[in-house]
Amino acid sequence: MKLYKVFLVFVFVVLSFNCFVLADDENEEIVNNVSSLIEVSSNITEEPTINSRSAIIYDRTSGSVLYGKSENEKRKMASTTKIMTAIIVIENSNLDDIVTISSKSAGTGGSRLGLHTNDKISVRDLLYGLLLCSGNDAAVALAEYVGGDVSNFATLMNNKSKSLGLYSTHFVTPHGLDNDDHYTTAYELAVITDYALKNEIFSNFVGTKNHTVYINGNPKNLSNTNELLGNLNGVYGVKTGFTNGANRCLVTAVKRNNMDLICVVLGADTKKDRTQDSIKLIEYAFNNFEMVNIKDKILNEFENWKLCNSSSFVVKKGLSNNIDIFLADLPFDFFPVNSNHINDISIYIYCKKNFEAPLQSETAIGYLTVSVHNKNILSLDIFNSNEILHKSWMNFYNTMFKDYILHLESLLYEKI
């Protein structure tokens, strides 16, 4: 009887421990009605109401936000942390290296790949364990392999975040278990994801539905926890997440035709909510926005302006007035525009026309702005391509002499 009581206490402790440290939702109920959720949301035209505390639809082509709900609010992000973990490992390791698992890695709780102390496994297979079944043990093993320890690895994560221009994100761990100093925003998580997806190796990992890894040479089959992968049209990644502090989280990459989007939902109450919210937002975006070739519109407007204004430039004391202007490089060619505002695209050009020599080449002399429905989406500098030198005294003398000769010729012509 005594042993039986000890056993019950042990089971209670283990179950309680797992309840508080889950970093993903592989043990949550499986959503079997994804198809029905897709069907219900497929014709959404109005901006949807969602359960998630924070969300964003981010256009990868232009970096613009098509939808946002508290997208700049700092929040815990659970295992979506592993997007950054993976890209740090990919950029700083040899994927074929073999890692020996430490006791710390093997003892990490929550969702697991199932590693034990002294197991041997490749970096590549650890990454599959990290991104498909969201193994916290794999996350610690990779952090120790690349950074020496978790703390040093977190420094690498934070340095990368800063290099991407993100200042509302801070990492403490490679797995995302709850910590008040571990947070991001929906917007910054979208930026991190966009950066990671530009790496083909990462993109291939998160787009994998099933994979077999080898631990000590023994095979183990893994399935991706992302319920939208393979079920929703165009989805090609990326990561799920769950802790008690973060609630349910999902980052989704989806591409249809020439529109490539990232959907982030953070803080959903249930797995069904996060799935439904993601589908609603994705379908809303594809039903209401279309990619417009903004490059063609800008260049046509700019060339027409040049044609009408090229003779209007005056460079006081300059050798000439022949200023040739050009636009700064466009950051993108296409821009997602709400179908209701396709005819509300405006381009405004301001360019200075009067100067005093000398005028250096590639000097900014104006700007072009693009707005959609009275909202500015883009500003580009206008530069002069050629240098205009200041006239010397000899130039002034020659000009005066030529003007004098022309004046005399005109007088003679009048007398004749």
CATH of the domain at 119: 3.40.710.10
Output DSSP code: residue 49. Answer: P
Determine the residue type at 16: S
| The pLDDT of residue 20 | 41
Q: Are residues 100 and 221 in the same domain?
A: yes
Residue 407 is assigned to a structural domain of this protein: no
Mean pLDDT, rounded, for 55-71: 97
| The pLDDT of residue 392 | 58
| The pLDDT of residue 393 | 53
Residue 297 is assigned to a structural domain of this protein: yes
Please give the order of strands across the beta sheet that includes 54-59. 65-69, 54-59, 259-268, 247-256, 235-243
Which two three-digit tokens encode residue 90?
Answer: 């990919």
* Domain CATH for 321: 2.60.410
Of the two residues 356 and 98, the one the predictor is more confident about is 98
Residue 374 has pLDDT above 80, yes or no: yes
Buried/exposed 356-368: b ≥16 CB within 10 Å, e otherwise: ebebeeebebbeb
| The pLDDT of residue 17 | 41
Q: List 98's β-bridge partners, or say none.
A: 122
Give, in order, the Cα–Cα distances in Å from 362 to each of 211, 315, 359, 365: 53, 15, 9, 9
Q: Are residues 315 and 227 in the same domain?
A: no
Of the two residues 360 and 135, the one the predictor is more confident about is 135
Q: How far apart, in whole angstroms, are the C-alpha atoms of residue 167 and residue 160?
A: 11
Q: Are residues 327 and 257 in the same domain?
A: no
Which residues are known to be catalytic?
79, 82, 134
* H-state helical runs in 54-101: 82-91
> What percent of the chain clears pLDDT 90, i.e. is strictly above it?
74
List the beta strands (DSSP E) in 112-188.
120-122
Residue 254 is assigned to a structural domain of this protein: yes
Per the prediction, the chain carries an average pLDDT of 89
Residue 163 has pLDDT above 50, yes or no: yes
Residue 287 is assigned to a structural domain of this protein: no
Q: How confident is the model at residue 12 (pLDDT cuts 50, 70, 90)?
A: very low
Q: Are residues 257 and 356 in the same domain?
A: no
Q: What is the largest CA-CA distance in the chain?
A: 135
Pick from 123, 125, 130, 179: which is nearest to 151 by CA?
179
Span of 31-45, 144-158, 175-189 with lowest mean pLDDT: 31-45
Q: Are residues 222 and 362 in the same domain?
A: no
Task: State which residues form the domain around 147.
Answer: 52-268
Q: What are phi and psi of 222, to 5 degrees?
A: -120, 145
Give, in order, the Cα–Cα distances in Å from 404 to each of 291, 391, 397, 407, 414: 60, 18, 10, 5, 15
Mean pLDDT, rounded, for 49-74: 97
Q: Are residues 215 and 336 in the same domain?
A: no
Q: Are residues 200 and 347 in the same domain?
A: no
Q: How far apart, in whole angstroms, are the C-alpha atoms of residue 307 and residue 85?
A: 52
Determine the residue type at 113: L
Residue 113 has pLDDT above 90, yes or no: yes
Residue 203 is assigned to a structural domain of this protein: yes
Q: Are residues 256 and 302 in the same domain?
A: no
Residue 403 is assigned to a structural domain of this protein: no
Residue 254 has pLDDT above 80, yes or no: yes
Burial (0-12, 13-18, 19+ Cβ within 10 Å), 24 = buried
Residue 283 is assigned to a structural domain of this protein: no
Residue 190 is assigned to a structural domain of this protein: yes
Of the two residues 14 and 395, the one the predictor is more confident about is 395
Q: Are residues 97 and 143 in the same domain?
A: yes
Q: How confident is the model at residue 38 (pLDDT cuts 50, 70, 90)?
A: confident
Q: Are residues 259 and 359 in the same domain?
A: no
Of the two residues 226 and 360, the one the predictor is more confident about is 226
Q: How many Cα atoms are found within 13 Å in the side-chain-facing hemisphere of 111?
A: 30
Q: List 178's β-bridge partners, or say none.
A: none
Q: Are residues 319 and 372 in the same domain?
A: yes
| The pLDDT of residue 358 | 84
Q: How far apart, in whole angstroms, are the C-alpha atoms of residue 218 and residue 354?
A: 76
Residue 26 has pLDDT above 50, yes or no: no
Span of 125-139, 202-216, 394-408 with lowest mean pLDDT: 394-408
Say if pTM beats, i.e. exceeds, 0.75.
yes
- What's the number of domains the chain is made of? 2
Q: Are residues 168 and 256 in the same domain?
A: yes
Strands 354-356 and 314-316: parallel
User: Which phi-psi region, left, alpha or beta, contains residue 189 (left: φ > 0; alpha: ψ -120 to 50)?
Assistant: alpha
At CA 30, angle to CA 28 and CA 32, rounded to 5?
A: 160
Q: How far apart, in whole angstroms, are the C-alpha atoms of residue 281 and residue 287?
A: 10
Residue 30 has pLDDT above 80, yes or no: no
Q: How far apart, in whole angstroms, are the C-alpha atoms of residue 336 and residue 289?
A: 6
Pick from 135, 161, 166, 136: which is nearest to 150 by CA?
136
Whether cis (ω within 30° of 0) applies to the bond prior to 358 is: yes
| The pLDDT of residue 41 | 76
Span of 95-99, 120-124, 321-325, 400-404 with lowest mean pLDDT: 400-404
Residue whose token pair is 């005399």: 408
Pick from 28, 84, 91, 18: which is nearest to 226 by CA?
28
Which two three-digit tokens encode residue 201?
Answer: 């190796």
